[in-house]
Amino acid sequence: MKIITLAGPPSVGKTAIIAHAIRVLLAAGRKPAAVKFDTRSPVDAERLKRDFGIPTISGLSGYLCPDHYFVSNMEEAMDWGAHQEADVLFVETAGLCLRCAPHIEGIPAVTVVDCLGGFDVPTKMGPMLSCADLIVVTKGDLVSQAEREVFIHSLPRNAPRAEVLPVNGLTGTGVRAVLRWLDRQPEGANAASARLRHDMPASICSYCTGERRIGRVYQTGNVEKLDWKAAP
Amino acid sequence: MSLASISILAGQGRDGGVEVVRRIDLVPGDTLAVVGPTGSGKSVLLSDIEQLAEGDTPSGRRILLNGRAPERSPLGLVATLSQRTNFVIDTNVATFVATHAACLDKPGEDWPNIVLGLANRLCGEPIRHDDPLQGLSGGQTRALMIADIALISDAPVILLDELENAGIDKHAAIAALADRGKIILTATHDPVLVLMSRRRVVMRGGAMVHLHERDAAETLWQERLRGLDEIFRNARETLRGGERLTLGGIL
Ligand SMILES: Nc1nc2c(ncn2[C@@H]2O[C@H](COP(=O)(O)OP(=O)(O)OP(=O)(O)O)[C@@H](O)[C@H]2O)c(=O)[nH]1
Ligand SMILES: Nc1ncnc2c1ncn2[C@@H]1O[C@H](COP(=O)(O)OP(=O)(O)OP(=O)(O)O)[C@@H](O)[C@H]1O
Ligand SMILES: [Mg+2]
Ligand SMILES: [Mg+2]
């Protein structure tokens, strides 16, 4: 079973890419399945099940950090995919926080970005881009050729191994290049011993356990303060 | 990348029947029009080229580069432009053009002047260096995009999908691109654009059914239609500018 993790900011087109890929794979007689980790809404997985009748499952992190929730469930997700006898397992993450990257050693890692966010988005994104094996750039249909070229140029150079592929999430143009890329990737690693490519943020303060009052006196645990004394 | 030729190898139409046109070869400077009714498969043909189909798209076509199946999709092979594309970033024209040139390692020249020189030959209303990109009209936007693709972009293949009423001198635009040794494919319903290309492929039911070469009669038509197009554009500019049309302009 090939496993592939897809991360990226909200609404960049992750599910759209997965849907086009599934369409192509089904036409070729393959058996794809999909897992979506999200904070509250199961619509992505439901949509894939409805449109393609493939096995899907969604994990909703609720009040937990969606990235922690994702990594806590990855081994089971891979077992589930194997149990479905899938030959390709898409794992879409919520990707809300740009502090970390939900990518795992030995598992093909895709980060999706769109052209609409401006040229400094790539530098703002950090590990999610630098840990990726493949960066998919969407929504190129909405901007000029020049903006596409400048945007692709601005993708971080500290990811020398990352390939960059443009995909149109509306028409699916480019998704075959993604699947050709996937064909060249190794089969999924053994989750029990696999490691995250980047550490996850510490989050063990009072707000992690449901505190809502914002005053200093209510803050306990791992609380970090900006250096307010040095502020002008 | 250096591209000596790109070839389209036939697949099948929507009904699964093999395509009549078996192969089209294009070399730098070539233009190919893609014509056919709505839904006949023009955009799909362009998309096959954009993603270098390997028999793995619905049409089953294959695209060869320099006579061979490419090992990987080379980034930056094709530039695309359609009626729907817009600028989204918030900056002025000169800064934007200079940024694009710098990204592609093309320092030294006065790129904003060079690009605006061409853009302003393509459209009626002059574009200025400090105009905000977002403030450009549809015609100015299209003219700037074409000038930028012609002069700065390294992409050797240009795909134009429905440039129809762009409000620009289409003839000068295509000529500027072809002069730079680009390979140009235009999917269009516009007879002026169709006849600008020496060859045209006719689409029907998803398949390439004819490959026509412009003949002597069509070359006359082309000149005639181009003249009409110019009259039309001039009238539009005159009326839009609040002027009156005069008899002298039409007799
Ligand atoms: N024009 C255009 N729209 C796109 C493209 N890719 C995706 N979209 C649209 O963007 C919207 C969001 O796409 P999704 O696939 O749901 O994005 P996502 O990354 O899965 O979003 P979340 O899972 O909610 O974070 C949809 O309306 C898509 O149709 C593209 O390349 N071009
Ligand atoms: N060779 C083919 N095999 C299977 N399906 C095809 C093929 N060519 C086109 N189609 C399908 O036909 C539909 C219409 O094609 P397309 O959008 O390319 O038409 P078009 O000529 O660009 O139309 P318009 O003039 O309206 O833009 C699409 O949904 C596409 O998937
Ligand atoms: Mg999604
Ligand atoms: Mg079309």
Can you list the domains of chain B with their CATH numbers?
20-40+75-198+211-249 (3.40.50.300)
Strand B199-204 to strand B78-82: parallel, antiparallel, or no bridges (unpaired)? unpaired
CA B161 to chain centre: 7
Q: Is residue A153 part of a domain?
A: yes
DSSP A142: G
Cβ-nearest to B153 among A118, A146, A175: A146
DSSP B90: -
Q: B172-231 pLDDT, tens per residue? A: 888 898 888 899 999 999 898 899 999 999 999 999 999 999 999 999 999 999 888 888
- What ipTM does this complex have? 0.84
Q: Which domain holds residue A120?
A: 2-194
Q: For the packed helices B111-122 and B138-151, what is the interaxial angle rounded to 10 degrees? A: 130
> How far apart are the C-alpha atoms of A147 and A121, rounded to whole Å?
13
B5 Cβ under 8 Å from any chain A Cβ: no
Dihedral over alpha carbons B65, B71, B75, B81 (to 10 degrees): 40
Number of H helices, E strands in chain B: 7, 9
Q: Is residue A151 part of a domain?
A: yes
Q: Is residue A222 part of a domain?
A: no
Q: How confident is the model at residue B166 (pLDDT cuts 50, 70, 90)?
A: low
Q: Is residue A91 part of a domain?
A: yes
Pocket test for ligand 1, best of A6, A11, A61, A135 (most atoms within 8 A of CB): A11
Q: How confident is the model at residue A98 (pLDDT cuts 50, 70, 90)?
A: confident
> Which of helix, strand or coil describes residue A175?
helix
Q: How confident is the model at residue B105 (pLDDT cuts 50, 70, 90)?
A: confident
Cβ-nearest to B103 among A118, A150, A164: A150
pTM: 0.86
> How far apart are the C-alpha atoms of B12 and B8, rounded to whole Å?
12
Q: How confident is the model at residue A157 (pLDDT cuts 50, 70, 90)?
A: low
Q: Are the beta carbons of A146 and B50 separated by less than 8 Å?
A: no
Q: Is residue A18 part of a domain?
A: yes
Question: Domain total for chain A?
Answer: 1
CATH number reported for the structural domain that contains residue A176 in this entry: 3.40.50.300
> How far apart are the C-alpha atoms of B84 and B62, rounded to whole Å?
27
Q: Is residue A182 part of a domain?
A: yes
Check the CA dihedral B51-B146-A164-A201 and report its sign.
negative
Q: Is residue A110 part of a domain?
A: yes
Phi-psi label, residue A161: left if phi above 0, alpha if psi -120 to 50, beta otherwise: alpha
